[in-house]
Chains A and B, each alone.
Chain A
Amino acid sequence: MKTLFDKIWDAHVVTTVEEGPTQLYIDRHLCHEVTSPQAFAGLRARGLEVYRPERTTLTADHNIPTMGQDQPIRDQVSRFQVDTLAKNARDFRLTYYGLNNPMNGIVHVIGPENGYTQPGMTIVCGDSHTSTHGAFGAIAFGIGTSEVEMVLASQCILQTRPKTMRINFEGRLNEHVGAKDMALYMIAQLTTGGATGYFVEYAGAAVRNLTMEERMTLCNLSIEMGARGGLIAPDEATFSYIKGREFAPKGERWEEAMAYWRTLHTDEGAQFDKEVTFGVSQIGPMITYGTNPGMGMPIDGTIPQLEDIDEAGKISFEKSLHYMGFTPGEKLEGKSIDYVFLGSCTNGRIEDFRLFTNYVKGKKKADNVTAWLVPGSWKVRKQIEAEGLDKILEEAGFALRQPGCSACLAMNDDKIPAGKYAVSTSNRNFEGRQGPGARTILAGPLVAAAAAVNGKITQP
Chain B
Amino acid sequence: MEKFQTITSTYVPLPIENVDTDQIIPARFLKATTRDGFGDNLFADWRYDKEGNPKPDFVLNDPTYSGQVLVAGKNFGSGSSREHAAWAIGGCGFRVVVSSFFADIFSNNALNNGILPVVVSDQFLGELFASSRANQQATVTVNLEEQTITNNETGKSESFVINSYKKGCLLNGLDDIDFLLSNKDKIEAYEKSRAYSY
- Hey, which bits of chain A sit against chain B, CB under 8 A? 11, 14-15, 17-21, 23, 25, 27-28, 34-35, 37-38, 41-42, 46, 48, 51, 62-63, 75, 77-78, 80-81, 84, 118, 120-121, 126-128, 130, 142-147, 149-150, 153-156, 158, 160, 162, 192-193, 196-197, 223, 226, 228, 256-257, 260, 292, 312-313, 315-316, 319, 409-411, 418, 428, 430-433, 436
Contact = CB atoms under 8 A, between A and B. Distances in A.
Contacts of A196: 75, 78, 101-104
A434 B130 CA distance: 35
29 contacts: A18-B165, A19-B164, A34-B31, A37-B33, A42-B177, A63-B31, A75-B31, A127-B81, A144-B105, A144-B108, A146-B177, A150-B176, A150-B177, A154-B181, A154-B184, A193-B18, A193-B74, A312-B17, A312-B74, A312-B122, A315-B15, A428-B20, A428-B22, A428-B80, A430-B23, A430-B79, A433-B22, A433-B27, A436-B50
10 tightest A-B contacts by CB? Answer: A20-B165, A144-B83, A146-B112, A37-B33, A144-B109, A142-B81, A193-B75, A154-B180, A145-B83, A430-B22
A284 B175 CA distance: 48
Interface of B: 15-18, 20, 22-23, 26-28, 30-35, 45, 50, 73-75, 78-84, 86, 101-105, 108-109, 112-113, 122, 126, 163-166, 175-177, 179-181, 183-184, 186-187, 190-191, 194-196, 198
A153 B165 CA distance: 20
A62 B75 CA distance: 26
B85 to A, nearest CB: 9
Contacts of B31: 34, 63, 75, 77-78, 80-81, 411
A154 B79 contact: no
A430 B85 CA distance: 15
A196 B83 CA distance: 18
Contacts of A84: 33
A144 B81 contact: yes
Nearest to A225: B78
A23 B83 contact: no
A145 B31 CA distance: 14
A35 B30 CA distance: 8
Contacts, number: 202
A223 B30 CA distance: 20
Contacts of A150: 176-177, 180
B181 A153 contact: yes
A149 B126 contact: no
Contacts of B84: 145
A287 to B, nearest CB: 19
Contact of A80 (B33, B122, B176, B180): B33
Nearest to A28: B198
Nearest to A127: B81
Contacts of A223: 79
Contacts of A430: 20, 22-23, 79
A20 B198 contact: no
Nearest to A405: B27
A292 B78 contact: yes
Contacts of B112: 144, 146-147
B83 A411 contact: no
B33 A315 contact: no
A313 B108 contact: no
Given A142-B80, A292-B78, 7 more contacts: A35-B81, A143-B105, A144-B109, A145-B84, A154-B187, A257-B196, A436-B50
A42 B109 CA distance: 15
